[in-house]
């Protein structure tokens, strides 16, 4: 588990929660630095979400696991709708903020620590590009199989990612080529977050095209039922159990 000095993401969220200010610097392992859109995004309300997120959340139902819940925007929305939601994040400060904002079930837990000991879920949320937390092909397959074993027969994964090839930036194409030369998937970005004096550990964030996602899902117990397209290569895949008879809208407004 990360310590306080490594909780850059959580400190940015906490400062925004307490003072309405904060920022995130994203550092990539090839030396690229970028400013993110900022922690305010993690506090956005439903009317301000991207259209594909608004559509995707309607598929949620039953008992919900929100992986990488951040400040709790999706979990709190579903909780207000009457669903039982468990939000998890490896950031202690993010979970502190979730609880302060009223999320009843929130735990400091890394994605690799999910197991059936948490109970059985009907929906797994991986919104906000959080499908990328699977990291790499090997870990993705392991995690997807584990999620298959801790979810109901009619369960869904609502998985947000980004097609890494929908870019015109030359540094992105060069990074893809660098990854291929190193035996990595082209959209496998190694990054860390900086905020003030805080720096997270390096982590792999895996971004995949729809075709690559289908390849990744083979023999994991999951398949794509639907995709919802957004801007700048963003999309959300609704994943269902491979033996399921089709997705069911969960009756949300």
What is the reported pLDDT for 248? 57
Q: Tell me if the domain spanning 50-189+201-241 has CATH number 3.40.50.2020.
A: no
What is the reported pLDDT for 170? 76
What is the reported pLDDT for 37? 87
Specify the pTM.
0.95
Polymer length of the chain: 253
> In degrees rounded to 5, what are phi and psi of residue 205?
-115, 115
Q: What does each C-alpha distance from 234 to 52, 92, 107, 165, 217 come to in angstroms?
A: 9, 28, 28, 11, 19
Q: Alpha helix (H) ranges present in 20-58?
A: 51-56
Do 16 and 73 form a contact (C-beta atoms < 8 A)?
Answer: no
Element (H, E) at 247: none
For residues 151 and 234, what is the distance between their CA atoms, to the nearest angstrom?
26
Domain ranges of the chain: 50-189+201-241
For residues 118 and 15, what is the distance between their CA atoms, to the nearest angstrom?
30
Which residues are CB-neighbours of 165 under 8 A, at least 6 positions away? 176, 186, 187, 209, 233
Query: Token match 């009756």: residue?
Result: 251
Q: Which two three-digit tokens encode residue 241? A: 């159990």
What is the reported pLDDT for 99? 98
Q: Which two three-digit tokens encode residue 250? A: 């969960």
> In degrees rounded to 5, what are phi and psi of residue 174?
-65, -35
Q: Is 248 helix (H, G, I), strand (E, B) or coil?
A: coil
What is the reported pLDDT for 171? 86
Instruction: Please give the sequence-ordered ranges of beta strands (E in DSSP) within 84-150, or none if there are none.
Output: 84-89, 106-108, 121-126
As a whole-number percent, the residues of the chain with pLDDT over 90 amount to 91
What is the reported pLDDT for 251? 45
What is the reported pLDDT for 169? 74
Q: Which residues of the chain are under the pLDDT cut of 50?
A: 251-253
């Amino acid at each position: 588990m990360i310590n306080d000095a490594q909780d850059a993401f959580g400190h940015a969220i906490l400062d925004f929660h307490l003072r309405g200010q904060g920022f995130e610097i994203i550092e990539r392992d090839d030396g690229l630095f970028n400013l993110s859109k900022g922690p305010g995004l993690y506090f956005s309300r439903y009317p301000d979400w991207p259209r594909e997120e608004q559509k995707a959340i309607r598929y949620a139902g039953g008992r919900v696991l929100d992986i990488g819940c951040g400040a709790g925007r999706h979990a709190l929305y579903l909780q207000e709708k009457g669903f039982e939601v468990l939000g998890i994040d490896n950031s202690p400060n993010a979970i502190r903020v979730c609880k302060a904002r009223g999320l009843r079930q929130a735990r400091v837990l890394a994605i690799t620590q999910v197991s059936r000991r948490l109970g059985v879920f009907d929906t797994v949320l991986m919104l906000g590009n959080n499908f990328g937390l699977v990291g790499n092909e090997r870990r993705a397959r392991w995690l997807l199989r584990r999620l298959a074993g801790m979810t109901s027969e009619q369960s869904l994964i609502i998985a947000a990612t980004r097609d890494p090839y929908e870019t015109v930036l030359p540094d992105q194409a060069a990074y893809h080529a660098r990854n291929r030369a190193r035996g990595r998937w082209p959209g496998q970005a190694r990054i860390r977050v900086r905020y003030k004096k805080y720096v997270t550990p390096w982590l792999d964030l895996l971004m995949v095209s729809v075709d690559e996602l289908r390849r990744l899902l083979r023999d994991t117990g999951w398949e794509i039922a639907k995709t919802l397209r957004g801007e700048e290569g963003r999309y959300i895949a609704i994943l269902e159990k491979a033996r399921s008879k089709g997705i069911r809208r969960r009756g949300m407004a």
